[in-house]
């Protein structure tokens, strides 16, 4: 089957990739762009390990065709940090609150948290748990992840100015 050219912006950088019409976004991210921070778990939309932001909205990149990303802005875990050497408050909070064990779910969790906190930096515990309902973690029991997102929301509301 002939390939299709897809233009997309990933973490601020423009790309043009020739993709199979049935190829998924996560395949393009990992195999063509070598952005392997986005993980593959189930490939059926159940685990959330492959979560990325597409035009600011969290999606399962295993269920998104690459051609659907045409002309879209994608943020992966590699693009969440505030700069090359400065973590995002969500990433810092995950580390500081012990919300990471094996880490396999973490990129997807961080992207789902970013989707939530960008809209609502002051979510209730229920809203956080609802926002994470598509992200499975086999290790942590979720409590520390929820706490990390609360802490990150506080920090995003009241950023500490760099001296």
Q: Which residues bind ligand FES (CB under 6 A)?
A: 40-43, 45-50, 60, 62, 100-105, 137-140
Q: Return d(Cα 153, Cα 53) in angstroms, integer.
A: 18
Q: Which of residues 11 and 101 has its CB atom nearest to ligand FES in the complex?
A: 101
Provide the minimum distance between the beta carbon of 29 and ligand FES in the complex, in angstroms, as a whole number: 12
Q: Which of residues 8 and 105 has its CB atom nearest to ligand FES in the complex?
A: 105
- Cα distances (Å, whole numbers) of residue 1 to 8, 68, 148: 21, 18, 46
Q: Which of residues 46 and 125 has its CB atom nearest to ligand FES in the complex?
A: 46
Contacts 24+ apart (CB under 8 A), 121-124: 121/153, 121/156, 121/157, 122/153, 122/157, 123/149, 123/150, 123/153
Provide the minimum distance between the beta carbon of 140 and ligand FES in the complex, in angstroms, as a whole number: 5
Q: Return d(Cα 24, Cα 133) in angstroms, integer.
A: 22
Provide the minimum distance between the beta carbon of 105 and ligand FES in the complex, in angstroms, as a whole number: 3
Provide the minimum distance between the beta carbon of 153 and ligand FES in the complex, in angstroms, as a whole number: 20
């Amino acid at each position: 089957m002939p390939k299709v050219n897809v233009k997309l912006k990933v973490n601020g950088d423009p790309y043009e990739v020739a993709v199979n019409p049935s190829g998924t976004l996560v395949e393009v991210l990992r195999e063509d762009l070598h952005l392997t921070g986005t993980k593959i778990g189930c490939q059926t939309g159940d685990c959330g390990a492959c979560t990325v932001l597409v035009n600011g909205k969290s999606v399962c990149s295993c269920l998104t065709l690459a051609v659907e990303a045409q002309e879209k802005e994608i943020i992966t875990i590699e693009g969440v940090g505030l700069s090359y050497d400065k973590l995002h408050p969500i990433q810092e909070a995950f580390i500081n609150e012990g919300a990471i064990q094996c880490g396999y779910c973490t990129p997807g969790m961080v992207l789902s948290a970013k989707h939530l906190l960008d809209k609502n930096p002051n979510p209730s515990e229920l809203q956080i748990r609802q926002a994470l309902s598509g992200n499975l973690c086999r290790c942590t029991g979720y409590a520390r992840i929820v706490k990390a997102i609360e802490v990150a929301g506080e920090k995003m509301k009241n950023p500490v100015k760099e001296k």
